[in-house]
Structure 1
């Protein structure tokens, strides 16, 4: 019982609510999956070009990180931009780790790697600022 009271006190403090952070991150990946499924349907139905699909994937990353940053900013009452930036960066980190784990290990860190990092972090930060 004492552990429950200690947890309630910790949530009242300005600490990081890890469970909320993970739930928000999970939901942003569920949103990503749903939007990618919609994109796959549109690709199948209309035969979208490679350039359109690439732009749509970037937009999906930004929308998902914007949402997670917005929710984090609403929950945390100060430094909202920071919490949004943190959510966007965590989203990218998980994305990069999964890509490395699924790939054959010969992933090149190039321009698109840093561009995707900037878009994810920026999307989350914008969401936090507008919350």
Structure 2
């Protein structure tokens, strides 16, 4: 029996968040070991977003096999919305400027779309 598109999306989203956790642990170790500056940390976090959403988009495209760019975009936007929701819940509000939030959304959406097109 074929899995539904919702199941595929949730599975790929879970894979993306597991990869995010692994990469953030690596980034935290680099922060500890090399005493990275704030700008380098921001760059590292953005690189994590790009890598994970790109991989998620590739997985979505390979799983669904039709309108791949759309499904990659959907994964990137869903990744961002979950990230924003968890951040809002944990911080009891939004932190950061609207510019930072929109930039992060654009990074996630564009990377997911690119991954879908590359699949």
Q: Shorter-chain TM-score category?
A: over 0.9
Q: Does 1:113 align with 2:97?
A: no
Change (3 A) 1:26 1:49: same
Note the residue ranges of structure 1 that are not aligned, 5 or more in a row: 1-7
Kindly indicate whether the alpha-carbon contact (under 8 Å) linking 2:61 and 2:69 is maintained by their aligned counterparts in 1.
Answer: yes
**Shift >3 Å, 4+ stretches:** 106-109
C-alpha RMSD of matched pairs (Å): 1.5
Aligned residues: 119
TM-score, with structure 2 as normaliser? 0.94
Larger Rg: 1
Render the CA deviation track for 1:63-88: whole Å, top value 9, x for unaligned.
00001100000111211000000000
C-alpha displacement at 1:104, in angstroms?
A: 2.2
- Match of 2:18, SS? helix
Change (3 A) 1:42 1:106: closer
Note the residue ranges of structure 2 that are not aligned, 5 or more in a row: none
